Structure 1
């Protein structure tokens, strides 16, 4: 025991010596922890410096890539990313900047002379905050300057690309027999190189990478067939023309034409893209083979697209499905001519890619473009001599008429113009125009068909006439209104598909790169500036989605709260309605705030609008605001609730709904009356069922004055006690008034449910009438029966004698005395004498 005590005392003595060692041991950990805490200012500064170095490197690369349009487009995209990264770095310091500003506002201004000095701790903190704020301002300034430099470099690249495009188009090439001789020699060399390069690559792939090649092609076919089968299953009748329909509707023809172009072309495009991607991923392609394979797949998709377009519009073998009024022979010639132009343009593009990949002489590429442009020009001239036009009602098998004179001149001038530009040396411009005629023309025609289809589908009642509309109506039992709404949605969807598929294709044909389209799409969907206001389509869509989700959750919570919690708790219907309404408004408001925040809309920028709105409320929206506030008061104080029987002025009925603007009252005739809440708050409102449903009924009864009033009172009270009325308070009968003819009474009784007062009063009136008839007591009034009079026998004999005497004194003659007839006067006699 003594040893333990000594050891314990020795340990206590050593504790002060061990504390510094522990502190020293903790210092590295503390330093490591402090070093692990991220410093937003240092991080943002490092990001800005890194972006500055990247921008300098990109500037050097731009100078080296002046002659490559594709490289310049790629560099521009990188420059814009560097600029956005610099701005993001400055934005990352905004939270710390706001914290510093808030802390400086808490500290207040520096004490003036004569005021008590600050403590050293506050002075150090104030200086540290000022230095940190200055550092953040420096980072923000550097980031903004770097962003401006990136924007200037991007604009410089755009100007360089524009200049390069113009120089390429208007560069004049020497056209002479020597050029063609050089081109023939270069073509022979290129053919040899092509055979050697492609043959060697294919032998190597077949011997050593056969499985990869077959797997890539097979998987690509699966992708294309899967996409086509999905499209065929979803819109099968819109792809194939039904032979059983002799005279299809114009809308049906448009829809079939558009989707028979779009869906198969997308399937072929998916196959080509998957094939190229898989071959590249499986290392089947060599660097010199890659551009040739990609161009071959691209021109194949283009040729299929043009072929599908001509078949859809001209329908050479099915005149009933033709979109234009041309003859059968004219449709066949136009289809062949258009496909020939597309084939010439595709071969020019593919052979040009082969020449670039093999490093052939430039003169060979020029010669190929010259031949393609001349061929396309000759085909245009040939098309101008075709006679395809038909009059309205003509048989498609008949001979057609020439083109309109203006269209013929345009075709001939365009064809001769291409040939003339090629012969004088502007091969680049001629090739560009020829490509736009074939490819851009095909895209524009497809877009036009799509727009016509969308417009036709969007007209009232048109969707119900289509095959898809009829199938939907039969399967889902849809009425005309729903079908019209579905047609409008389909119309908007077709417009969106036309824009998303057609516009990028046209931009690519006019010299823009995919990076340009991606950059524009990024700007459109992420930031649209209108003055000082920045709008993001992605943010708006996200905000709308969050608002819809919040709205759905609110409605679900309302139903759950009302149908599960409050029903089981036997909450009063009026309270349930008030709670449900309050939850609905709170949920919608919260969902709106979340949606606005997600959309990135700064509410502080709407302060001016809010001020103007407040002014408008003060003048023009007084009644609306008054009704709104009155509705909130009604929901809070609850002078009446849903289901109450109320009387407001001349309106009497049951409360069906209480909103923040007005209250719905349903009268006994089932008429719904909307009463503004301010009228209910400011006016007198009677409520029969405010605290309970107890009510009093009054039934007036009038009898002739010859009856005994006490006996009548006893009878009425006995009848009232036998009805469905309360015993406490008990019923009563009041002798209201009397006159020479009537005695007036009123039966008063209380019922447990005032809503049943009508039934109780009906039963009580019927019982009173039956009882009074049994007692021989007649009711008073004009419709009352003959009144029996009660008198003593002596008075009765006296009254009978008086009646008999009165009857005896009456004499009624049986025959009236006749007067003597006047004597007749003779003719000629004197009447006077």
Structure 2
């Protein structure tokens, strides 16, 4: 009986081993799966960065800066992805070390040789992995800095190209584009003027007329008498409370400039608020009007500071070392600079 059972068991094993290859052949896929593209190593990424640096140092390199920047950005992304992929392995190693526990103290019983060997292997693996992660992070930072450097070189190259192509203002080429675009600009300007006229007509209607008039009257009072009154008050405070000398002259110059900025800027702000009291301006006109108010503030600062520095009527307050004749000859320049800034900013 035992011999019979042994014979049957041997027969089953033989049949099973013969059937396994047939089943494997039946279940095998008709085609093999394509192999995955191996991820670049740290040495390969470092070699790519070295190639980019060498190309930047070589002035005769034929590689465009855009391609070099793309290579640097690619290294940055791959290094960041590599550091991200290594992070779970570091977590797993730290978990295994946590299971082993801390190293026994000097007076404590020694741990088993197998545990000590496993701890040394895990410590070495953790140190190697930590070095790889830090190297990947360093490569990513170097790639980021290199891409920023290439951006700067591209901007310099672009500006140099623009400067080389720009004609002088005394040539016909310089004025060709403005002259060619002048008819279209005039059409746009007329369209903008029509929209502004429509907004003014709507602002003059009874619901908006009274706020607009009050705002315009207040703005006119600020421009006519408000600036002088505020300037007089600030100068009086500076004369009474600031010691005599360079500090007082600086305080008086600040008072003149500040009074011009506050009164003129507030007058422009009031005019805008009166015109757009009930939100009658559309988005484009409102944005344009807000920009004009900002430009008025800047123009008022230029004129106020210029008047304060020149001090044509009060030579003893003058900060720069200028003669009365030079200050008299320069007294129109602050107004011209402010008008130019306002005009070009508006355009």
TM-score (norm 2): 0.45
Q: Flag the structure with higher helix content.
A: 2
| Higher relative contact order, chain-length normalized (CA < 8 Å, sep 6+) | 2
TM-score (norm 1): 0.22
Larger strand share, 1 or 2:
1
